[in-house]
Structure 1
Amino acid sequence: MNKHIEVLTDTDSLIARAQELILKKLEAAIQMRGRFTMALAGGSTPKPLYESLAAGNLPWDKIHVFWGDERYVPPDHPDSNERMARLAWLDRVDIPATNIHPIPTGEGNPAVSALKYEQHLQQFFQAAPGVFPALDVILLGMGDDGHTASLFPHTDALKVRDRLITVGNKDGQPRITFTYPFINAARCVMFLVAGANKRMALGQVFAESSDSEQYPSRLIQPHGELWWLLDAAAGSELEQK
């Protein structure tokens, strides 16, 4: 694993750095493989990144967008990660509809939806069952409880090691989420973390020994690159490594 931790002065600098890295990964992926695959995060932190990407003149026909997790709500629901990304980015550019790969939430059964998305991913990447395909970039956030995607502390989703997609649980509300082994198969995982309320959890995530069940972001140890991009409020107490 190739790990990088950068503490940026503010959220604007964090977003600019994330965009710079993503565009480099995009260019390299298209040059090597003819396409760029990226999984999006929800939450407020990446929204300005999506707005910034929307303003770029990018090869949209070669970009494929997925989601690392989703609340089990319709895609037009205010809490939908898909809705946020469409409004901030995808509806504002000429990306082919077939290049957008949202998590299905209309089956009425989260386990069925998780299986459906897993099968879609296997078909897209032409991956046999049991094989974890590698996305070019997976964007992640981190909650002040140390969760990432919809991998929450002490939940069953943390135990799933043989699937790409599983059902997460947040206070009794189901979520659909990438599993941590699938995240770890990525060529590049990029955490975007902002805010002083994240400091305590970051300290535990970066500690030499701590409980991964309590701080699930510790489970993210990708085979490729791992980037932690932190604003000063979140990362001021961490040594840059």
Structure 2
Amino acid sequence: MTSEILISPEPQALIDTALALIVERILTAVGERQSCAIALSGGSTPQPLYAALAGADLPWQQIHIFWGDERYVPAEHPDSNYGMAKQVWLDLVPIPPANIHPMPTDLTEPQLAAAEYERQITTYFVPATGAIPVFDIILLGIGDDGHTASLFPHTAALTVVDRLVTIGDKDGQPRITFTFPLINQARSVIFLISGTSKQAALAEIFAPMGDLAAYPARGVRPQGELLWLLDAAAGEQLGSGT
């Protein structure tokens, strides 16, 4: 794993940096492997990034979009990560509908949805027996509590190592989420983090002897690269480096 912290002076510069890095990695993946599989995060921070990607000149026929986590709500619900990306990005570009892979939150039970999404991922990648699929890009954020995806502090999802997708628990509300084994197989994991409210969690995430159960983002250690993209408000107590 290679790890790097990049701090932008303000939020728009953060989005500009993220856009350039993601476009570069999409084009590299398509050039090397004829396709790019990217998993999106939710929340307010990446929304302007997705809007910017809508204006990018990209090989849409060769890009496949997945989600790293999702609230268990219908696609048209205002809290839907899929719905947000669809509205500001995916509806605005000529990406084939078959290339968009939302989490199936319309099933009767979250457990069924997690198993179905794992099946869809495995089918897309067709990995060797026992191999974990390798996403080209996984986008993540963190919460003020140090969670990432829907891997929340002191929850059962943190210990799942035999599944690619599992159930996250946010105050008793189920969510669907990638597990650490799937996240950590990625070629590139990119965190996008903004705001002073993230400073305390970042300090614990980067602490030499921190607690993964209390700050789950500590568990993200991909086999490829790990990029922490922060604005100055979030990264005030951190320096840039590798």
- Category of TM-score, reference length = shorter chain: over 0.9
Of 123-132 and 62-71, more deviation after overlay is shown by 123-132
Of 127-136 and 55-64, more deviation after overlay is shown by 127-136
- List runs of 5+ in structure 2 lacking aligned partners: none
Partner of 2:55: 55
Query: Is this contact kept in 2: 1:134–1:186, CA < 8 A?
Result: yes
Aligned length, in residue pairs: 241
Partner of 1:9: 9
Task: Compute the displacement of 1:36 (Å).
Answer: 0.9
Whole-Å separation in 1 of the counterparts to 2:146 and 2:156: 16
Partner of 1:199: 199
Partner of 1:69: 69
Partner of 1:99: 99
- Deviations along 1:54-75, whole A, 9 cap, x unmatched? 0122111011000000000011
Whole-Å separation in 2 of the counterparts to 1:19 and 1:240: 19
Letter in 1 for 2:81: N
Task: Compute the displacement of 1:127 (Å).
Answer: 2.0
Say whether residues 1:184 and 2:189 are aligned partners: no
Task: Compute the displacement of 1:170 (Å).
Answer: 0.1
- Deviations along 1:126-183, whole A, 9 cap, x unmatched? 0256421110000001000000000000000001011110000000000000001100
Partner of 2:132: 132
Question: How does 1:1-241 map onto structure 2 within 5 Å?
Answer: 1-128=1-128, 130-241=130-241
Whole-Å separation in 1 of the counterparts to 2:28 and 2:78: 35
Whole-Å separation in 2 of the counterparts to 1:79 and 1:64: 22
TM-score (norm 2): 0.98
Task: Compute the displacement of 1:45 (Å).
Answer: 0.5
Cα-Cα RMSD? 0.8
Query: Is this contact kept in 2: 1:122–1:128, CA < 8 A?
Result: no
Query: Is this contact kept in 2: 1:139–1:192, CA < 8 A?
Result: yes
Query: Is this contact kept in 2: 1:37–1:63, CA < 8 A?
Result: yes
Whole-Å separation in 1 of the counterparts to 2:239 and 2:233: 13
Whole-Å separation in 2 of the counterparts to 1:213 and 1:131: 26
Query: Is this contact kept in 2: 1:165–1:177, CA < 8 A?
Result: yes
Query: Is this contact kept in 2: 1:130–1:162, CA < 8 A?
Result: no
Whole-Å separation in 2 of the counterparts to 1:198 and 1:144: 5
- List runs of 5+ in structure 1 lacking aligned partners: none
Identify if the C-alpha distance between structure 1 residues 178 and 45 changes in structure 2 by more than 3 Å, giving closer, same or farther: same
TM-score (norm 1): 0.99
